[in-house]
Amino acid sequence: MNTRYERQMILPEVGDTGQEKLRNSKVLVIGAGGLGAPVLQYLAAAGVGHIGICDHDKVDLSNLHRQILFTSKDLGQSKAYVAKKFLNQLNEDCQVSSFEFRINYKNIEEVMSNYDLVIDCTDNFQSKFLIHDACFLFKKKLVQGSIYQFEGQIQCFDFNHSDSSPCLRCLWPEVPTPGCVSNCQEAGVLGIVSGVFGSLQCNEAIKMILEMEVLDQGSTLTLNLKNLSQRIIKWKKSKDCPLCSLGPSIRKISESHKLTEFEVLEKKGHFTEVDLREDPSFDAKEADPNKEYLFFCQRGIRSLHFVKELRELGLKNTYSLFGGVDGK
C-alpha cells in the first residue's frame, strides 16, 4: 500500500480501487480564494491526479486571513500560479495546470474540456451561472459553494448522469442582480467560514469521485456557523426551466447578461471617464450636458447603482461600464 495514502486507503470506501479513481480523476477548481484554498489542498493531498486552477486575480494583503494557500511573500503574484507551485510541493503525484485569467463565455468550454468535475469557488453570480450552465451543456459534474458572513450553501450536480434531476435554473431562471446581496469584500467574512465551506465542497467532490453518496441534486445544504443550525432544502425540476426543460432557451454558452440601456461593454473614445474607485464623488450639478460620462469601478456594480441614481436625477448622458475594470 502506498504509504502516502495509507490512512485513507484503509477505509473500505477507498481501498486500491478508490485510490485509483482519485488518481485518474480530473478536477477543475474555478476561484483560488477563500473556498478554493482548502479545496485545492485537500484534492492534492488526497492524490487527485489532475487538478486545474483558474483564477485571474493576484494575491492581496486583505486575502491572507482566509486564503491560506498564500503567504506574505506571494503578494502581487498570480493566485493560480502561486497555488500551482504550492500543490506541486505538496504532492508530486498531481499534475497541476493553472489558467491565469478570468473565466468567461468565450474561454469556458476550452478550460473545462480536460476535466470531469468542476468545483465552483467563485464569488459572484455571473460566474456561478456561467459555470453551472457550461457544466450542464458539457455534461460535467459540479460542486457549488457560496458564503455570506457566518453562513453558506453548497449544491451538487451530476450533469453527466441526471437528466431527470433539477438544475439551478429550475430554481433561479434568471441570474440574480449583481449587488442585490453583498460579497465578502462588502459584507465581511471570518476566514474559517470559507475554510469550512471549502472543506465541505471538497468532501462532496471526493465522495463523487469515489462514487459514494453525495448531497442530492436539487438540494441546498445551508449551514449557519454562528449557531450550527443546518438544513437541507429541496427544489423541483421546472418544466419551464430555460436550461434543462424540453424546450430550453439557453442552448449554448453566450454573453448572457442583459445590459440595461445605460450600461456599455467597453470604453469608447467619446466618453468622459469617471473612475469611482479613486473618487466616489461626482457633482451632478456640475455635469456638462454636452458630454457623455462613463462611470466605472472594480466590478461594475457600484457604478451601475451610481448611474441609476444620476438617471433618476435626470442625467441621461451617464453610463456604467459593465463588469468594471475586472471584467476587461
Partner 1 sequence: MYKKVKIEYFAVLREQAKINSEELETSSADARELLSELTSKYNFSLNESTLKVAINEEYCEFTTKLNEGDRVVFIPPVAGG
Interface residue list for partner 1 (CB under 8 A): 31, 33-36, 121-125, 128, 145-149, 151-153, 171-172, 176-177, 180-184, 187, 189, 194, 220, 222, 224, 226-227, 229, 231-236
Of the candidates 326, 288, 322, the residue with the CA atom closest to the CA atom of residue 303: 322
Taking the least distance from each CB to partner 1, the nearer of 238 and 317 is 238
Q: Which residue lies nearer to partner 1 by CB, 8 or 126? A: 126
User: No. of H helices and E strands in the chain?
Assistant: 10, 12
Identity of the residue, 184 or 307, whose beta carbon is nearer to partner 1 in the bound complex: 184
Closer CB to partner 1, residue 138 or residue 148? 148
CA angle 37, 168, 244 (to 5 degrees): 130
Total count of residues recorded for the chain: 328
Least distance (Å) between residue 197 CB and partner 1:
9
Nearer to partner 1, 112 or 175 (CB): 175
- Residue with Cβ nearer partner 1 (98 or 146): 146
Q: Smallest Cα–Cα separation from 119: which of 202, 211, 25?
A: 202
Question: In this complex, which beta carbon is closest to partner 1, that of residue 35 or of residue 44?
Answer: 35
CB of 13 vs partner 1, minimal distance in Å: 27
Least Å from the CB of residue 3 to partner 1: 35
C-alpha cell at 32: 483560488
Burial classification of residue 110, based on how many CB atoms lie within 10 Å of its CB (0-12 exposed, 13-18 middle, 19 or more buried):
exposed
Q: Which of 59, 50, 120, 34 is CA-nearest to residue 91?
A: 50
Q: How far is CA 264 from CA 106, 178, 190, 307, 314, in A?
A: 18, 16, 35, 12, 19
Query: Within a 10 A sphere around the Cβ of 6, how many other Cβ atoms?
Result: 10
Q: How far is the CB of 89 from partner 1 (least distance, A)?
A: 24
Q: CB of residue 109 vs partner 1: minimum separation in angstroms?
A: 22
Backbone angles phi, psi at 97, to 5 degrees: -120, 140
Least spacing, CB of residue 313 vs partner 1, in Å = 21
Sheet with 263-264: list strands edge to edge. Answer: 263-264, 318-321, 292-296, 271-275
Least gap, CB of 30 to partner 1 (angstroms): 10
Nearer to partner 1, 63 or 91 (CB): 63
In this structure, what C-alpha cell is assigned to residue 188? 465581511
State the nearest-atom distance from the C-beta of 219 to partner 1, in Å. Answer: 9
Integer Cα distance of 293 and 272 in angstroms: 5
